[in-house]
Amino acid sequence: MDIKWKNISHSFWLKLVAIAIALGGALIISSFLPYLPMVDYALEPQDYRDSQHLKSRLSHMNSSLYEVINNYHDEAFIESGQSTQMEFADFSRWQRQQYNQRVAEINERYAAWIAGAERANDTAEATRLAAEQEEMLEQETVQFEETIAQHKAMFIETDLNNYRIHMQTLNAPGMHYCFTPTRNGEIVSNIPANVEPESFFASLPAQHKRIAVEGTYYAGITADELQAQAAEFADLREQGMAGIYRLAAGVLVFLIGFALTLTTAGKRPGQEGIHLNVFDHIYLDVGLVVPIFVVLFCGVGVAGFGSAAVQQVTQVYSWLATALILLAALVVLLYGSMVAKRAKRGELIRHTLLYAVLSWAIRLLRKWSSQLRHLLESGPLAWRGAGLLAAYAVTLSLSIIMMANSRGSSLEELFGVGLFLISNASALVLVLRKIAELQDITAGTERIQNGDLSYRIAETGGPEMANLARLINNIATGLGAAVQSEVKSERMKAELITNVSHDLKTPLTSLITYIDLLKTEGLDSENAGKYLDVLDRKSQRLQVLTEDLFEAAKAASGNIAMQTERIDVGSLLAQGLGELSEKLEASQLDWRISIPEEKLYVQADGRLLWRVMENLLSNILKYALTGSRVYVEAAKLEKAVCVTFKNISASALNIEPAELMERFTRGDTSRQGDGSGLGLSIAKSLTELQGGTFTIVIDGDLFKASVCLPHYR
């Protein structure tokens, strides 16, 4: 099924079908255009009485009544120019300012010309200029008066047209209006004279009342006119709803085709991967400008169709609007496929001009910052070298300038030549000295490389060369210490293998020997019981060694499940000592236990922490000097809680603490005790696994072990 769908989704015909569906949706959307002017009606409530259209019509009628009463009065009032008095006065004032400015410019210009003619004693020219000035001023005056008269007539004509439009609104069929002044004044209305306005308009099915300082304005509609308007509103609302359904269906069909186009974008029959065409190489953010521009352009065109549709535009304009919608749909499909291809290739963000510019800028900044950081981190050597080079360049430049500008002066020329020779000689001496210092360091490095780790390079010369020699000497010192540490590590590994072999071989040899004796003497011999006891002890010994070895390996690798919680170390230690009380009393040791009353909280695994303490107590029971004192102390330090174990060893401790914590290393070098030599190693690993520290101090026969874990607050 997957292969079949893959073949279909890669098909060229499916892409055509997807585009056809999307364009079909665009055509359905274009069929919505004739209904665009009626959409406002579809968004209104179904009852015309509750619609905004009715409220707007009544409010507009009331506004027309207000304009007539307060601004226009009647045609005679308008024709007398009283309605335009304030507006015309502002215009006249502005025109008068322009006229005065032009007159002043004419007078100033001609005054200068006439004065020039009089200075030249050219009376005829002065007379001509004066006459020309009078003519220019007269023309400006005539033009000013004509402009004032023309605009006054225009203002009056505009007010007359507005007045007639307002009166046409007020006197529309089925429409009633009335104005009742607050004080004495004339009532203006088209209702019967003997009717009280308040009750009359209250009886109308729809009315609007406006109370102002100057009086009350009424506007209303008769029942017959309201019914006619409601029928017209219902028809327009039904057309608007039909248009919305067409728009919704068109958008849904387009989205289906758009989704199919995105799904099939970049796929080709029989080929893997996402394939690109010439348009796909355009940056996505740059290409986004095209669909935005096209959609806006088409939207303006469609909006123009919507406003013109009310005026019954031609069929050609309808086809033009449809073509604009199809063009916008094609551009959106093309850009959508570009985005889908880049998204499938994981390049949605990277294939943008902004990303490319930012990436280039970041790479450039990183390169510059790296170079600057490298220069700053070069230290005094770089700064001193740059300073010397700059000083050399300045000195050399000065010497050359002096020689070039000597102008035959032997003293200046001699001084310039001397400065030139001195600067070059100084630079040569400095370079040779640095080369000699570098050769000494190179020779010493070769000696150290050849194995002479005790050789030290003389730390002489400049501060940089001396520092380089010191660093190489430190490397030689560290390398020598590493070699010694490696030798010691190899020795301890050999001892580890020897100890493991000895501890495992001893019980295993006993097992083999006593098994052979049982085979020889038989199970019925009188020594069979003794042999079995020995076999039992040795097998248990071998089991303990194996388990300890396995636990040590897990502890060292950290492969132990931990369940950390808040633990009171004092309570844990007291509880553990109580469980071991019989062994402690039978040990013939003087136990001195010190646990403070305050809580000693740490974050640890109680089982593993007790395993550490138990190993140390077991170590004391095995190796402590009989009759000696043993000190166990729990204390709260500044940043940690520590449990310290101190005892006197029965055997001489001629061993380093680090070696004693190695696996299979025991205090009894004869290795005759019951210990495995793994206890301290296990304790150290388990302590570090819980975030603590495990330390051992040996002072003569005194053995001291400390387990410290951070506070838990």
d(CA 181, CA 65): 13
Residue 101 confidence (pLDDT): 92
Please determine, for residue 313, whether its predicted confidence score (pLDDT) is greater than 50: no
Tokens 């166990």, residue located? 632
Residue 31 confidence (pLDDT): 82
The residues with which 709 forms a beta bridge, in sequence order, are 641
Helix or strand run (H / E) with residue 207 = strand 206-211
The pLDDT tens digits of the residues spanning 327-365 come to 888 888 888 888 888 888 888 888 888 888 898 999 988
Residue 554 confidence (pLDDT): 56
CATH class of the domain comprising 561-710: alpha beta
Helices within 171-273 (DSSP H only)? 197-203, 223-264
- Taking CA 643 as the corner, what is the angle to CA 640 and CA 649, rounded to the nearest 5 degrees? 140
Task: Report the mean per-residue pLDDT for the chain.
Answer: 78
Average pLDDT of the segment spanning 583-601 = 89
- Taking CA 271 as the corner, what is the angle to CA 265 and CA 275, rounded to the nearest 5 degrees? 40
Residue 29 confidence (pLDDT): 82
The pLDDT tens digits of the residues spanning 389-432 come to 667 677 767 767 766 665 555 666 666 667 667 767 776 666 66
- Sorted by sequence, the CB contacts under 8 Å of residue 643 that are 6+ apart come out as 569, 573, 613, 632, 633, 634, 706, 707, 708
Average pLDDT of the segment spanning 609-630 = 87
Predicted confidence band of residue 546 (pLDDT cuts 50, 70, 90): low
Predicted confidence band of residue 316 (pLDDT cuts 50, 70, 90): low
Please determine, for residue 207, whether its predicted confidence score (pLDDT) is greater than 60: yes
Most confident of 161-170, 299-308, 459-468: 161-170
- Taking CA 110 as the corner, what is the angle to CA 105 and CA 116, rounded to the nearest 5 degrees? 135
- Sorted by sequence, the CB contacts under 8 Å of residue 535 that are 6+ apart come out as 510, 511, 514, 515
Higher pLDDT, 234 or 489: 234
Task: Write out 122-159 in H/E/C secondary structure.
Answer: CHHHHHHHHHHHHHHHHHHHHHHHHHHHHHHHHHHHHH
Please determine, for residue 663, whether its predicted confidence score (pLDDT) is greater than 50: no
Q: What angle do helix axes 410-449 and 380-404 make, rounded to 10 degrees? A: 160
Mean pLDDT check: name the lowest of 10-19, 137-146, 359-368.
Answer: 10-19
Predicted confidence band of residue 642 (pLDDT cuts 50, 70, 90): very high
**How many H-runs (helices) and E-runs (strands) does the chain carry?**
22, 11
Mean pLDDT check: name the lowest of 155-169, 175-189, 573-587, 678-692.
Answer: 678-692
The pLDDT tens digits of the residues spanning 105-131 come to 988 998 889 888 888 888 888 889 889
Average pLDDT of the segment spanning 200-220 = 90
Please determine, for residue 449, whether its predicted confidence score (pLDDT) is greater than 50: yes
Predicted confidence band of residue 179 (pLDDT cuts 50, 70, 90): very high
d(CA 157, CA 153): 6
Please determine, for residue 155, whether its predicted confidence score (pLDDT) is greater than 70: yes
d(CA 554, CA 162): 101
Cα distances from 520 to residues 230, 523, 533, 686, in angstroms, run 126, 9, 17, 47
Average pLDDT of the segment spanning 546-564 = 61
Predicted confidence band of residue 161 (pLDDT cuts 50, 70, 90): very high
Q: Are the C-beta atoms of 177 and 222 separated by less than 8 Å?
A: no
Residue 217 confidence (pLDDT): 92
Closest among 565, 528, 569, 703 to 625, alpha carbons compared: 703
Residue 632 confidence (pLDDT): 92
Average pLDDT of the segment spanning 472-494 = 68
Please determine, for residue 627, whether its predicted confidence score (pLDDT) is greater than 50: yes
Residue 657 confidence (pLDDT): 67
Please determine, for residue 640, whether its predicted confidence score (pLDDT) is greater than 60: yes
176 HSE (CA, 13 A, CB side) = 23
Residue 260 confidence (pLDDT): 87
Tokens 């570098």, residue located? 438
Predicted confidence band of residue 70 (pLDDT cuts 50, 70, 90): confident
CB neighbourhood size of 149 (10 A): 10
Average pLDDT of the segment spanning 177-192 = 87
d(CA 427, CA 434): 11
Mean pLDDT check: name the lowest of 236-240, 271-275, 413-417, 672-676.
Answer: 672-676
- Sorted by sequence, the CB contacts under 8 Å of residue 38 that are 6+ apart come out as 236, 237, 239, 240, 243
**C-alpha R_g of the chain:** 55
Residue 77 confidence (pLDDT): 85
Average pLDDT of the segment spanning 468-489 = 72
Tokens 């102390």, residue located? 633
Predicted confidence band of residue 676 (pLDDT cuts 50, 70, 90): very low
Please determine, for residue 634, whether its predicted confidence score (pLDDT) is greater than 80: yes
Please determine, for residue 495, whether its predicted confidence score (pLDDT) is greater than 80: no
For the record, the structure tokens of 20 come out as: 């056809």
Mean pLDDT check: name the lowest of 26-40, 595-609, 691-705.
Answer: 26-40
Tokens 């499938």, residue located? 344
Q: What percent of the chain has pLDDT over 70?
A: 75
Please determine, for residue 645, whether its predicted confidence score (pLDDT) is greater than 90: yes
- Sorted by sequence, the CB contacts under 8 Å of residue 250 that are 6+ apart come out as 25, 26, 27, 28, 29, 30, 31, 32
Does the reported pTM lie above 0.75? Answer: no
Task: Write out 415-484 in H/E/C secondary structure.
Answer: HHHHHHHHHHHHHHHHHHHHHHHHHHHHHHHHHHHCCCCCCCCCCCCCHHHHHHHHHHHHHHHHHHHHHH
Please determine, for residue 671, whether its predicted confidence score (pLDDT) is greater than 50: no
- Sorted by sequence, the CB contacts under 8 Å of residue 283 that are 6+ apart come out as 351, 352, 353, 356
Helix or strand run (H / E) with residue 408 = none
Average pLDDT of the segment spanning 253-270 = 82
Query: Would you list the DSSP string of 649-686?
Result: BSS---S-HHHHTSTT--S-TT--SS--S-HHHHHHHH
Average pLDDT of the segment spanning 437-458 = 75
Helix (H, G, I), strand (E, B) or coil at 37: helix
Please determine, for residue 200, whether its predicted confidence score (pLDDT) is greater than 50: yes
Residue 227 confidence (pLDDT): 92
